[in-house]
Chains A and B, each alone.
Chain A
Amino acid sequence: MNDTPTPVTIEPARKLFLSNASFVWIIPLLALIIALGVAWQSYNSRGPLITIEFENGAGIKTRETELRFRDVAVGVVEDVKFASGLSGVVAHVRLDKDVAPYVDVGASFWVVQPELSARGVSGLETVLSGVYIEGTWDGDIGPSQSSFKGLKDTPLYRYGKEGLEITLRTTAGGSLTDDSPITYRGIEVGRLGKAQISQQGSFAVAEAIIYHPHSRLISPTTRFWDTSGFTFSVGPSGAEINFSSIATLVGGGVTFETFVSGGSAVSDGYSFEVFQDEASARDSVFNASEAEPLQMRVVFDENISGLSVDAPVELNGLQIGRVEGLSGVIDADAFGDQRVRLSALINIQPARLGLQDDVSPEAALEFLSRQIEDGLRARLASASLLSGGLKIELVEVEDAPQYVVQTGEGIIPIIPSTNNEISDVTATVAGVVSRINNLPIEDLLNSAIQFLNSADALISDQDLRETPQVVKALLGDFREIVASEDVQDIPVKLNASLGRFETLLAQLEEEAFATQLVAAVNAAATAANGVNASVEGVPALIAQLEAVAEKAENLPLEDLTKQLTTLTASADAILGTEAAKQLPADLGSALNEINATLQELREGGAVTNINATLDSTRKAADAVAVSTQDLPALVERVRVVLNQANETIAGYNRGEALSRDAQSALRDISKAAEAMTSLARMLERNPSSLIRGR
């Protein structure tokens, strides 16, 4: 060893140690600093650990399953353990630090799994990536919580999909489908949550949400109804199948409508009823809200089949309740025998009674008790003629025995019953059918055949076929009369007399006796017109007789034919009488007389004789009247003959089927006769009208 000088060792050992230290130590120091820094940073950025308890693992994997919020991963499952007592599975989730404060008491979690339902596929992405835990919480920082209970299903309310939270409950007999959409005019505006049975078990309740802004459609008067399934109805317009959409057909659904406008807004937690269909929902709007029903009992003496549970209970035709239950009852004490009676338990809806103030079962019972004391009784009545179903009707019965309703705690009050009113349709229909059956259809057919046979024989009879010819001959005679010289001469003669009149008038004009003359001329003119009218009336008479002949032609009866033949013969004879033939001649002579008078007047030319002349004109008219007085007599005779024929035909035909035709023919004949009578009467009353035309 070398000898080293001692002064050298004066340098302090510490300094030596530091100077000897290699700069290499910087590297581990740096590494240490970096490691510590990283460790601190990762520890610092690490969020809190929360535990979520689920019913089962459902595919949750350690370090793989993410916790997502709005589909963004905000945490990861670090551990999955069993809860104490193996009651569930606890997932330990490491939250991201930045969202951790928001995960407070209001947070809820559920597992998103692939789901295939009627409304579609959801959570499909989880098929490949595995399930994830979805969480929802609001945007406010609340009291923190680190241990949560996971939900079984996707909750209705989530942050970002807010809406009006309401409860829906079914009405009697209705149903709800879990997790079905709430649509409005076909658009999904809300969703129904998990349906639960109410505590009493009488209806189902489901939470529901109506998303904003559709929640403004809801008011207290809004009515919900079930659109799931389909309705099939056969009506006057044919068969109809109704369903709102395939989705609701399969998956169920609820829709709503606000029938009455002007409702106030609804706050969260409001409860609505879901009706079975739109009609009942609509009806319910106009009824007061349903209150607790009043239970009553009716015991019927007869046990008639046809009354069933849910059958209506009606008061004055208005349904006020329904049958809740049916049973037999034997009560020897109350009824005095051992017969089984029908006991119906009925629910009466107080709101339907229209009570004004207090809509409660007590008020309804009080009201009904008073009515029962006044004679209100229950009876069974036919609800439907076809199905034979029965209903219970409450009716006022006159002089009903006194009855006081028993009320009290635990006693179901009884409505006394009265005689039932059941229309037995089947019996009625059977009666109708048997009566139809008993009709003597065969006899009727036989007599019809016989009748047709004899009609055939009658029509083919020779005499009947000759009838028209005889009638024709009769009409020919008629025509002869009308076409006779004398009748046709009348206008000619009138013309001549008028010509003379004109010349006379020319003279009279000169002598300024115009006024009287005008009257005279007018009288003469109307006389001429009257004659014209009477002549015109003759063809009408012929037409009528022709009609008679036609009717008579159709008459199918042998005897009638003979009678008619004789009738025509006598008519012929009448027309051939002197009086008839003389009628035109008389008329003609009357006109001749006028003519002569006028001639005289003209010849005399004396103005002073004018009045006398006019008088003789009147006389001449009277003469015409006298001659026409024969005409009524003639008409009367024709009428007598026709009446005779009428009677004969009527006598023959009465009670026979074909009499209708004959009678109508006779009626026509008698009308003709009446026409002639009236003509005759008119002439009788006012003979001068034939001349004056009035």
Chain B
Amino acid sequence: MEVAGQNPSIKSARDLGVVACTRCLQVWPAGTPSCARCGSTIVARDEKSLQRVWALWLVGLMCYVPANMYPMLQTRTLLSVQEDTIVGGAVELMHHGAFGIALIILIASVVIPLGKFIAIAFLAISVKRPSMVSNHHRQLMYEVVEYIGRWSMIDIFVVAIMSSLVQLNTLAAVNPGRASLFFALSVIFTMLSAQAFDSRMIWDAQRAERNIDR
């Protein structure tokens, strides 16, 4: 599989018998157990990375289910108590004609987390199995996932801000629902899951192909 700008003559660090510290990027000879600068463990490939990815991914997914089932926001006014789930709230906003906001909520709370799950799962699978998507695209996907992951917390921020601002005693009050906790956990675990992924494995697949080609 040929990617633009890929040069077979490029040597990887492994080929040269060195390994870089993943935290402080100091290069050490292969076999060095730990970075003498920052103290972190130095491995050429994290063999257990995928296990951690899957484990954390699973927890994130488990948390995502109740996050959508339970109400995210509890709005208590003088006369009534309203509890809305994420999707229910967005649908309600659409009923009120606020399509923009509804869209933002849907994207931030549904599309992005779901996309992250899919992307991480895809990346984890593609490391083991040959994929149609090029290594560069997968690297890009990984970087996007890692970057965008933190923005999913925007929902939690909205709930937190609303809850702290709207506390008018008996007249009206906004309290976070149970879903907010699960949603936050879900976001945290997906972020951890994404971080646990060792992106170098993407390229190992390329090297393996090249060796087969030879």
Contact = CB atoms under 8 A, between A and B. Distances in A.
B78 A128 contact: yes
B63 interface: yes
Interface in B24-51: 47-48, 51
27 contacts: A20-B47, A20-B48, A20-B51, A21-B51, A22-B51, A22-B52, A22-B55, A24-B48, A24-B51, A24-B52, A24-B196, A25-B55, A27-B56, A27-B59, A28-B55, A28-B56, A28-B58, A28-B59, A31-B58, A31-B59, A31-B62, A32-B62, A35-B66, A64-B81, A128-B79, A130-B79, A130-B80
A21 B55 CA distance: 11
Q: Which 6 A-B pairs have the closest CB atoms?
A: A22-B51, A22-B48, A24-B52, A24-B55, A28-B58, A28-B59
Interface of A: 20-22, 24-25, 27-28, 31-32, 35, 64, 128-130
B190 to A, nearest CB: 13
A682 B51 CA distance: 168
Given A22-B52, A22-B55, A128-B79, 13 more contacts: A24-B52, A27-B56, A28-B58, A28-B62, A31-B58, A31-B59, A31-B63, A32-B62, A35-B66, A64-B80, A128-B78, A130-B79, A130-B80
A32 B60 CA distance: 11
A32 B66 CA distance: 13
- Which secondary structure dominates where chain A touches chain B? helix
B62 A35 contact: yes
- Which secondary structure dominates where chain B touches chain A? helix
Nearest to B82: A64
A24 B79 contact: no
Contacts of A128: 78-79
A24 to B, nearest CB: 4
Contacts of A129: 79
Contacts of B52: 22, 24
B205 to A, nearest CB: 16
Contacts of A20: 47-48, 51
Contacts of B58: 28, 31
A32 B63 CA distance: 10
Nearest to A31: B59
B184 to A, nearest CB: 14
A27 B51 CA distance: 12
Contact of B56 (A24, A32, A64, A130): A24
B53 to A, nearest CB: 9
A35 B48 CA distance: 26
Which interface residue of B48, B51, B59, B78 has the most chain A CB atoms within 10 A? B59
Interface in B76-90: 78-81
Contacts of A22: 48, 51-52, 55
A173 to B, nearest CB: 49
A128 B77 CA distance: 11
A31 B51 CA distance: 16
Nearest to B50: A22
A39 to B, nearest CB: 10
A31 B65 CA distance: 12
Contacts of B47: 20
Nearest to B58: A28
Contacts of B79: 128-130
Nearest to B49: A22
B165 to A, nearest CB: 24
A327 to B, nearest CB: 63
B78 A27 contact: no
Contacts of B189: 27
Which interface residue of A28, A64, A129 has the most chain B CB atoms within 10 A? A28
B181 to A, nearest CB: 12
Interface in B160-214: 189, 196
B69 to A, nearest CB: 12
Nearest to A127: B79
Nearest to B51: A22
A650 to B, nearest CB: 112
Nearest to B78: A128
A208 to B, nearest CB: 38
A25 B51 contact: yes
A607 B63 CA distance: 172
Contacts of A130: 79-80
A46 B51 CA distance: 37
Nearest to B48: A22
B55 A27 contact: yes
A32 B61 CA distance: 11
A22 B57 CA distance: 14
B159 to A, nearest CB: 21
A20 B49 CA distance: 11
B72 to A, nearest CB: 16
Contacts of A27: 55-56, 59, 189
A32 B55 CA distance: 11
Contacts of B63: 31
Contacts of B51: 20-22, 24-25
A31 B188 CA distance: 14
Contacts of B48: 20, 22, 24
A1 to B, nearest CB: 8
Contacts of A25: 51, 55
Contacts of B59: 27-28, 31
A3 to B, nearest CB: 15
A21 B50 CA distance: 10
B119 to A, nearest CB: 19
A63 to B, nearest CB: 8
A13 to B, nearest CB: 15
A31 B48 CA distance: 20
Which interface residue of A24, A27, A35, A129 has the most chain B CB atoms within 10 A? A24
A27 B196 CA distance: 14
Which interface residue of A20, A22, A27 has the most chain B CB atoms within 10 A? A22
A643 B178 CA distance: 138
Contacts of A64: 80-81
A564 B126 CA distance: 172
Interface in B118-140: none
A31 B186 CA distance: 11
Nearest to B189: A27
A562 B56 CA distance: 160
Contacts of B55: 22, 24-25, 27-28
A455 to B, nearest CB: 102
Nearest to A38: B66
A23 to B, nearest CB: 9
A682 to B, nearest CB: 121
A404 to B, nearest CB: 81
